[in-house]
Amino acid sequence: MPLIAEAEEWLALSLTPGLGDETLRRLVSAVGGPAQAFASGPGFLKTLLSAEAEHGVRTRVGFAHTAAALEWLTAPDHYLLPFMDPAYPTQLLEIHDPPPLLYVAGNPRLLEQPSLAVVGSRNATPQGQATATQFASHLGDAGLCVVSGLALGIDAAAHQGALDGPSSSIAVVGTGLDRVYPSRNRDLAHRLAREGALISEFPLGTPPRGNHFPRRNRIISGLALGCLVVEAGVESGSLITARLAAEQGREVFAIPGSIHNPVAKGCHALIKQGAKLVESVDDILEELRWRRGAAQAAPPDDPGRAAQPAQLLEALGHEIRSVEALCGATGWPAEQVVAGLLELELAGRVAVLPGGLYQRLEN
């Protein structure tokens, strides 16, 4: 894709000291584009800008810092989307503070696809991660792209589940797109750039800073029709995303958990505040009035899969057992055991106990 018109001007304006997002949008909207902003006289600029920003625009200081980004934009599947560009996501323009510029690595068309945010704790339980992966996969099968934040735990699990389906995934990051944070998700970030999309409002070279992550959460929720919280402690940043989603008029969903599980308490708090309690993807689709496409037909019957819950119950017996013990008893990998336990829990056939233990609820 060739460089957008006025790419250098957009970059220079965004890199002008003292020029905040809201003022940048107001300035460009008033004059019709970034080139016109730089061509404006000092008298007009002083009516809109602070002294620092007016001096920066008038002396064009931002142009001294655009070379790296212009070089980055020449690579395949690297894009810059200003808020006035037709390709800028319509859903995001609805929020009160949309980013003036989005840097995109991957498929920018995904930003216009109907999507759902899936977020949760960085310190997620194995069951929570399996739940996030399973829900993201089913959401993708239903035709919804999954948006999350590339964090460890629930975010990463949601991206993985969605990437394996037909609707893909978008990661909104709190750094420049030439950096990956956390570094443990480097392979996942590269896969998202190939098969989904990575987006950021931050210029290239921006390192991870604490205040960037709550800020990027408004983009996660703003892109989506709703926000699903899988696991979250009472101080979790995921609750910020859920609050922003509610403020933006999006639906908020939460998955309940054990009252003894500290990373379920944030979800319980959301449910008390009016979030929809979710036990299956159908609960989300019903609330959104979302119709599954014809391509979402049920897969052929898999006798081996159908037998899994029964095998897992037999392995559990009437003892209180851990995931590790069940892996040993069944010979299954942990991911398969956790997914089976989740299915049994949702069916009311097993209970989750403190310490990641499980107990059978039926004879």
What's the pLDDT at 300? 32
Which amino acid, one-letter code, is at 200? Answer: S
pLDDT in the model for residue 109: 94
Q: Which stretches does DSSP call E strand in 83-130? A: 101-106, 115-119
Q: Give the model's pLDDT for residue 355.
A: 65
Q: What is the pLDDT of residue 295?
A: 31
- What pLDDT score does 301 carry? 36
Cα 112 from chain centroid (whole Å): 14
Instruction: Give 298's DSSP letter.
Output: P
Crossing angle (nearest 10°) for helices 334-346 and 303-316: 90
- State pLDDT tens for residues 217-238: 999 999 999 999 999 999 888 9
Q: What is the pLDDT of residue 296?
A: 35
Q: Is the pTM of this model over 0.75?
A: yes
The CATH number that domain 109-296 falls under is 3.40.50.450
pLDDT for the residue 362: 64
For 102-140, how does the pLDDT look when each residue is reduced to its tens digit (9 = 90+)? 999 999 999 999 999 999 999 999 999 999 999 999 999
Main-chain dihedrals φ then ψ at residue 179, nearest 5 degrees: -130, 150
What Cα–Cα distance (Å) separates residue 51 from each residue in 37, 100, 272?
Answer: 15, 21, 48
Chosen CATH of 303-360 out of 1.10.10.10, 2.60.120.200, 1.20.1740.10, 3.40.50.720 = 1.10.10.10
Block mean pLDDT (10 aa), the chain, length 363: 74 96 94 94 93 96 96 95 93 94 97 96 94 96 96 97 94 97 97 98 96 95 97 92 96 94 94 96 94 41 49 83 81 77 77 76 65
Q: Where are the beta strands (DSSP E) in the chain?
A: 78-82, 101-106, 115-119, 145-148, 169-172, 197-200, 226-229, 251-254, 276-277, 321-322, 350-353, 357-360
